[in-house]
């Protein structure tokens, strides 16, 4: 199946209803569900991410594109699961204990889904135990988010708490830096939703 340009553009422009309708049309035509995702929808999310990196798109555009993507994923996920589609990796993401900010975390979660990861969204105010449960449930990569300097130190506790679990840990959020990631022993750092996807792929050894 070649790229469905109409679907690609609908995701790119954040036209949620159009995406759902176009995906349903492809499903009704018995199109390969994995190809619908990988040939048309994932490239659209990659493009909006690239535009964001070049300052040609901003957070609102990324959010509406991600929500449009989710409308298509809602239809595709049961079919992908039934067809035995393997995600490129299983990740868990959550905002650390004491921090209730979730816009950045939500955007990263949607971008990761759009890139083909299976995402366990743990929500906000997550303690070490919650992240450990996610690892026990198969998460290969754990992403910690914090918006407040007062909650950043808890990231160190999570890194220590998951030591020896085999899971990789990425951290991110407005006050977070690569130096801080190095200091607490995290495996990587991301400063926005697009680099989050790239960092996740790098951590798991997935081709970008």
How many Å separate Cα 135 from the centre of its chain? 16
Which residues are paired to 120 by β-bridges?
92
Confidence of residue 85 (pLDDT cuts 50, 70, 90): confident
CATH topology of domain 5-82: 1.10.1240
With a cut of 70, say whether residue 169 has pLDDT above it: yes
* Rounded average pLDDT over 45-58: 88
- 0.95 exceeded by pTM: no
Q: Where are the domains of the chain?
A: 5-82, 90-204
Confidence of residue 65 (pLDDT cuts 50, 70, 90): very high
* Rounded average pLDDT over 194-203: 90
With a cut of 70, say whether residue 1 has pLDDT above it: no
pLDDT tens digit sequence for 92-111: 999 999 999 888 898 889 88
How far is it, in rounded angstroms, from Cα 107 to Cα 92? Answer: 14
Q: What is the chain written as a DSSP string?
A: ----HHHHHHHHTT-HHHHHHHHHHHHHTT--HHHIIIIIIHHHHHHHHHHHHTTSS-HHHHHHHHHHHHHHHHHHHHHHHHTTPPPS-EEEEEEETT----HHHHHHHHHHHHTT-EEEEEEEEE-HHHHHHHHHTT-SEEEEE--STTTTHHHHHHHHHTTTS--EEEEESTT--HHHHHHHT-SEEESSHHHHHHHHHHHHT---
- What pLDDT score was predicted for residue 208? 61
Mean pLDDT taken over the chain: 91
Residue 140 CB partners (closer than 8 Å, separation 6+):
89, 90, 91, 166, 167, 168, 204
Same fold, 5-82 and 90-204: no
pLDDT tens digit sequence for 110-154: 889 888 899 999 999 999 999 999 999 999 999 999 999 999 999
With a cut of 70, say whether residue 39 has pLDDT above it: yes
Confidence of residue 155 (pLDDT cuts 50, 70, 90): very high
CATH 3.40.50.920 for the 90-204 domain, yes or no: no
Rg (CA), the chain: 17
């Amino acid at each position: 199946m070649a790229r469905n340009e109409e679907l690609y553009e609908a995701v790119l422009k954040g036209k949620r209803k159009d995406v759902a309708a176009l995906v349903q049309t492809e499903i009704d035509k018995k199109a390969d569900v994995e190809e619908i995702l990988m040939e048309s929808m994932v490239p659209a999310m990659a493009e909006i991410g690239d535009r964001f990196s070049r300052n040609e798109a901003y957070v609102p555009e990324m959010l509406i594109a991600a929500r449009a993507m989710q409308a298509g994923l809602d239809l595709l996920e049961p079919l992908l699961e039934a067809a035995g589609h393997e995600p490129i990796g299983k990740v868990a993401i959550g905002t650390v204990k004491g921090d209730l900010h979730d816009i950045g975390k939500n955007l990263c979660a949607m971008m990761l889904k759009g890139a083909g990861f299976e995402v366990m969204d743990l929500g906000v105010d997550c303690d070490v135990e919650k992240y450990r449960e996610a690892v026990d449930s198969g998460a290969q990569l754990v992403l910690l988010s914090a918006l407040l300097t007062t909650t950043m130190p808890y990231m160190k506790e999570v890194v220590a708490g998951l030591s020896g679990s085999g899971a990789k840990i990425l951290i991110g959020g407005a006050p977070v830096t690569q130096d801080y990631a190095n200091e607490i022993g995290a495996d990587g750092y991301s400063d926005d939703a697009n680099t989050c996807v790239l960092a996740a792929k790098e951590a798991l050894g997935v081709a970008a």
